[in-house]
Amino acid sequence: MRRLWPLTVRGTGALILAIGCFIVANETGVAELQYFGILLLAVLAASVISLHLARRSDSISRTLHPDVATVGQDSLVTVQVGMRAAIPTPAGTWHDALPKGLSGRAQGDFPALGSGLRGANRTVQLSYRVAALRRGIHSIGPLTVRSTDPFGLARRVSTFAERTAVTVAPAVIDLPPLADFAGEAGGTLHTTTNQLGQGADNLVARPYVPGDSMRRVHWRATAHRGELMVRQEEQESTPEASVVLDRGVLRWSTEAMQAPGLDPGFETAVSACVSVVARLVHDGYAVEVIDTDGMLLAERIDGDDSAEVDALLTLFATLTARRDDSLGQLNRLFAGVTTGPVILITGRFDPADAATIAPVAHHSTLPMLIAVAPVGDALDRAADAGWHVSALGPEGDVAAAWGDTVGRGVSHVG
């Protein structure tokens, strides 16, 4: 922590007056002016000393709620400053420096402190709200506290050099479910439950084992057998979906490879990616998030696992584009298999790209394509190949694009 004790305008005037008194006293021989000058210097010295004794700052810490900020959302920053005050101190002001990725009014009045004869530690709590503007990891600080002595002659400026890193995750947009496409998309957990119908009481039940979900308990069989029973039929494999984020820098601007938050189009694509993952996980899908070359961008997320979705947001806070363009490898990833929904999110997309990924549509129960910067009739060609397609401009409406993707094109080409 750095401390400065500059004089205020009033204090500077008092110092100039004291020097003037000494000069005039030396020329005129008036001793009273010397006494007055000495008195002014004594008051200035007492002011600076009082600031040094009055308030001593030992520590600072910041907390953020929620722990991970989200683009477009407000977060509460709480600053705790450890103080010691031997004598009563006047109030002051404080200011916390914010990076470009955050905005807010990080300033206010610093409270006055009463005397503490034993120099006991005290904690001053400051708080303010910030809005996250740009994805990435940003640092808050330093904190500056300014105070003056009771006479207003000297000003103490205390600067806490400690900085606090703040993680800003991409924005998650609430998307409508794939309810109308549940059957052709490979089924969801909700579809499995609905298929039970009124014959659920006649399902084959088995004894409960540790790890079984309590939602699968067969209460009628449990009452009949006297032990906890679960429905055997609900042990079907979890429906799977793949979300593919094309990070090739040729699809975006070069800024997308340098740091998070610099390319609006890439930021929109990242937001769309995490929003789609959150929607599918909520609908009961086990979701795999990959790049176009098959590299995992996150571990597989099981259905209804909201904690892993939160972890994905933190992981994607620093995601950037990469140099290689591997959209052509997408066919190899899905060759020879039939999988559930495949959602491809890309940037620049031309007719040649539509021809390249056309075979993938034949291997997915619901192929979906969202392009941030489509070229010419590329989306129409992809739709002819079996993709559900839509365009999503930079800073566009992700929810509207998702709705267009679901409702446009054919569902599947066999």
Over residues 325-373, the pLDDT tens digits come to 899 899 998 888 888 999 999 999 999 999 999 999 999 999 999 999 9
Are 74 and 112 contacting, i.e. CB atoms less than 8 angstroms apart?
no
From the candidate CATH numbers 2.60.40.10, 3.30.1540.20, 3.40.50.300, 3.40.120.10, the one assigned to the domain spanning 54-169: 2.60.40.10
Are 245 and 282 contacting, i.e. CB atoms less than 8 angstroms apart?
no
**Which of the four pLDDT bands, split at 50, 70 and 90, describes residue 184?**
very low
Are 147 and 57 contacting, i.e. CB atoms less than 8 angstroms apart?
no
SS (H, E, C) 239-289: CEEEEEECCEHHHCCCHHHHCCCCCHHHHHHHHHHHHHHHHHHHCCCEEEE
Instruction: Give me the DSSP letters along 142-190.
Output: -EEEEEE-TTSSBEEEEEE---EEEEEEPP-------GGGTTTTT--HH
Greater confidence (20 vs 388) lies with 388
pLDDT at 307: 92
Cα distance between residue 249 and residue 191, in whole Å: 39
Greater confidence (142 vs 2) lies with 142
Tell me the C-alpha to C-alpha distance, in Å, between residue 384 and each of 117, 329, 357, 387.
82, 21, 12, 7
Cα distance between residue 337 and residue 242, in whole Å: 13
Place of tokens 């794939």: 178
The answer to whether residue 177 scores a pLDDT higher than 50 is yes
Lowest mean pLDDT among 82-91, 147-156, 245-254: 82-91
The answer to whether residue 199 scores a pLDDT higher than 70 is no
pLDDT at 272: 97
Give first-to-last CA distance, the chain, whole Å: 68
Cα distance between residue 141 and residue 132, in whole Å: 16
**Exposure string (b/e) for 26-59, b if CB count within 10 Å is 16 or more?**
eeeeeeebbebbeebbebbeebbebbeebbbbee
* Domain ranges (residues) in the chain: 8-53, 54-169, 189-235, 239-407
Number of helices followed by number of strands (H, E) in the chain: 11, 20
Instruction: Give me the DSSP letters along 314-359.
Output: HHGGG---BS---GGGHHHHHTT--EEEEEEEEEEE-HHHHHHHGG
DSSP letter (8 states) at residue 389 = E
Q: Tell whether domain 239-407 is in CATH 1.10.3720.10.
A: no
Partner residues linked to 207 by β-bridges: 229
Question: What percent of the chain shows pLDDT beyond 90?
Answer: 50
**Exposure string (b/e) for 163-183, b if CB count within 10 Å is 16 or more?**
ebebbbbbbbbebeebeebbe
Are 372 and 392 contacting, i.e. CB atoms less than 8 angstroms apart?
yes
Peptide bond into 239 cis (omega under 30): no
Are 340 and 286 contacting, i.e. CB atoms less than 8 angstroms apart?
no
**Which of the four pLDDT bands, split at 50, 70 and 90, describes residue 164?**
very high
pLDDT at 204: 64
Question: pLDDT for 28-68, tens place per residue?
Answer: 888 888 888 888 888 878 777 766 665 566 689 999 999 99
Question: pLDDT for 400-414, tens place per residue?
Answer: 999 888 876 443 333
pLDDT at 224: 77
Are 85 and 136 contacting, i.e. CB atoms less than 8 angstroms apart?
no
Q: What is the residue type of 271?
A: S
Q: What is the residue type of 115?
A: S
The answer to whether residue 295 scores a pLDDT higher than 50 is yes
Cα distance between residue 48 and residue 381, in whole Å: 77
Q: Tell me the pLDDT of the chain averaged across its residues.
A: 83
Cα distance between residue 104 and residue 275, in whole Å: 26
Mapped onto helix, strand or coil, the DSSP state of residue 107 is strand
Question: What percent of the chain shows pLDDT beyond 70?
Answer: 81
Tell me the C-alpha to C-alpha distance, in Å, between residue 320 and each of 15, 71, 245.
57, 16, 11
Place of tokens 């120099």: 119
